[in-house]
Amino acid sequence: MLVRGIRGATTIEKDQEDEILAATIELLQVIKQENKIDIEDIASILFTTTSDIKSAFPALAARKIGWDKVPLLCFQEIEVPGALSRCIRVLMHVNTDKKQDEIKHIYLKDARQLRKDISG
């Protein structure tokens, strides 16, 4: 079994705790569903946010859906002029037998523009 990275991102309209948590929960659940992940196989999750998100840690969303044994860590993205605002990014490390081309990276809402090549 290998450790693979699964990427994902989403955006929020307003920097409010309930919106941050709802958007992050949605993203995590879609990643889990689309990749048929068992929670026991998640090695860790890294979250990043743009500097305009300050009302909550996205990692709290994982705790709220019961992922309390998964190591989680939040970071702030570097500020690049013209970059997408109010964006939450995820890098999930998963133990899996899947090949890299079988992994489904998930981009929701305005974050679809980050990876137009894979986010329909």
Give me the active site residues, please.
7, 63, 74, 77, 89, 107, 115
3-state secondary structure 58-99: CHHHHHHCCCCCCCEEEEECCCCCCCCCCEEEEEEEEEECCC
**Beta strand 87-96 pairing with 42-49:** antiparallel
Cβ within 8 Å of residue 13, ≥6 positions away:
19, 86
Q: Which amino acid is at 81?
A: P
CB 39 within 8 A of CB 117: no
